[in-house]
Structure 1
Amino acid sequence: MSTRPRRRRRWAWLAAGLGVLVLAVGTTLVLAYPSVAATTCPRCYGLVPVRDGLYAEPDLSDADRQRLVEMHRDAVARVDAFYQGRRSQPTVLACLTRDCYRRIGGGGERGVAVRNQAVMLSPRGVDPVIAAHELSHVEFHVRLDAPRDQIPQWFDEGLAVLVSNDERYLLPPTAPDRCRDASPEPLPRTLTAWLSAASADEQVYARAACRVYRWVDAHGGPPAVLDLVDRLNRGEPFATLVQD
């Protein structure tokens, strides 16, 4: 008997086994990390394009569609203006219903950045300020080559408040000092500590924003953040550049 048919059968079994493995991994990803899967394939979760980079539920009213377009345009403009252009192009998934947000893996938050490649917005987060906050996280992270763990979470969050111009936590730009809460106590450095602190007192965002605002203002405005990123990428420690 020729060995050729046996080799063909062996390759067929290997191909079949590989196909099963790929399917199993894909299924596990969808079940365990729906947000990753949804941002990778929005259409797989029933979302449709509204404009370039923006997905939402189908059958939107004209008013809702226009609202989403204006929200997205405003949020992108805020990030673009602060960073003097964007290097990131994250996909934005905007849900106008709770069912949609749960389906794509969302929780109780207003919005969340996913793997520096996408932003998910809940019905409470369909707002240019919330969207710009999450887009700021993505832009900041995309620009950083330095290890992320050396950047305190309070700085990342305070910067996002500043970029998004969130007047819940900062006074208007016309104020001589935009700080709403200048309390001097230490701020959370890790993501876990930040989430714990923010769940207990949302005004931790105001304290972080005050710290970042005053540092940026003292160092020449938004270009100071671009210079900070360059210096971090060259290996300078964050602790020598920004004081807690």
Structure 2
Amino acid sequence: MPLRRRWIAGAVAVILLAAVVTLTAVVFPSVAATTCPGCYGLERLGPGLYAEPGLPASQRRRVTEVARQAGERVRAFFAGRRSSPDLLVCLTEDCYRGIGGGRERGVAVLNRSVMLSPRGVDVVIASHEMTHVELHARLDGAEVPQWFDEGLAVLVSDDPRYLAPAGEDRCLAEPRRDLPVTLDDWLRAASADARVYAEAACQVSRWAAANGGEPAVRGLVERLASGQDFPAAVATGPVRD
């Protein structure tokens, strides 16, 4: 290729790349923010932990402690961690809107990073979102029904809004016959009635209790990652580590 054509091709490639980056930042700011937290003004508090700048020492300690405890909660359930998502934490609504957040307390972005709003800077919300990331890291591309994904996150995070205290039956709401399977269906159901989280948590917690607890869940995830489909993996029965 002549030099001039190579130069033109290179220039076009740079322009297209810049356009893609700009479009991502405008249309999907949460994706861009998790890719480059500093570009959105977030300050690094530690490895993989970012928060809005200028926080007083007490709030910095709070954010750091929430991240630590949430990570330990996930680690304890899964007997280790295979994921290490970046956490982007906002203590003001302006900050959260600036990184692409909405009305949610927290959100897992592309199953790689976690964003927490001012209403979600606590161990329950942080560990819920981190569970989504950990689960998908272990699934290695395998899929699960959305109700299982959400119900497991409620179970791991030990969310008292949707689970009774530890005991024989932790259910606060009987699961409907057909819990939402797809993300779109889940979002519609959850926006209409948040009790669907309790229903999903009931389904997951009862299965876990009947099949060996946390080791059974880990075994189920391993079977899914190895290629077994969800109905067959769930029907396998009790599994021990």
TM-score range, shorter chain: over 0.9
TM-score (norm 2): 0.93
Measured in 2, the distance between the counterparts of 1:114 and 1:210 equals 25
Deviates more, 1:119-128 or 1:15-24: 15-24
2:120 to 83, 105, 125: 125
Measured in 1, the distance between the counterparts of 2:172 and 2:93 equals 32
1:13 Cα offset (Å): 2.7
Superposed counterparts of 1:18-167, under 5 Å: 18-148=13-143, 151-167=144-160
Give unpaired runs (5+ residues) of structure 2. Answer: 236-241
Per the alignment, residue 238 of structure 2 pairs with none
1:169 Cα offset (Å): 0.6
Deviations 1:166-225 (A, max 9, x none): 01111112x332111124432111111111111111111111101100101111111111
Deviations 1:57-100 (A, max 9, x none): 01100111011011101110100000000000100001111111
Per the alignment, residue 223 of structure 1 pairs with 215
Deviations 1:27-86 (A, max 9, x none): 111111111110000000000111211100011001110110111011101000000000
TM-score (norm 1): 0.92
1:143 Cα offset (Å): 0.6
Per the alignment, residue 171 of structure 1 pairs with 164
Q: For residue 37 of structure 1, give the secondary structure of its aligned residue in structure 2.
A: helix
Residues 32 and 184 of structure 1: CA distance in aligned 2, closer, same or farther (over 3 Å):
closer
Q: For residue 50 of structure 1, give the secondary structure of its aligned residue in structure 2.
A: strand
Measured in 2, the distance between the counterparts of 1:178 and 1:197 equals 22
**Contact 1:155/1:212 (<8 A) preserved:** yes
Deviations 1:135-194 (A, max 9, x none): 00000011113532xx11111100000000101111112x33211112443211111111
Measured in 2, the distance between the counterparts of 1:180 and 1:41 equals 40
1:16 Cα offset (Å): 2.2
Per the alignment, residue 12 of structure 1 pairs with 7
Deviations 1:94-128 (A, max 9, x none): 11111111111111111111112100111111111
Q: For residue 45 of structure 2, give the secondary structure of its aligned residue in structure 1.
A: strand
Measured in 2, the distance between the counterparts of 1:90 and 1:58 equals 20
Asked whether 1:205 is paired with 2:197, we answer yes
Q: For residue 112 of structure 1, give the secondary structure of its aligned residue in structure 2.
A: strand
Residues 166 and 15 of structure 1: CA distance in aligned 2, closer, same or farther (over 3 Å):
same
Q: Which amino acid aligns with 2:57?
A: D
Per the alignment, residue 189 of structure 1 pairs with 181
Identity %: 57
RMSD: 1.5
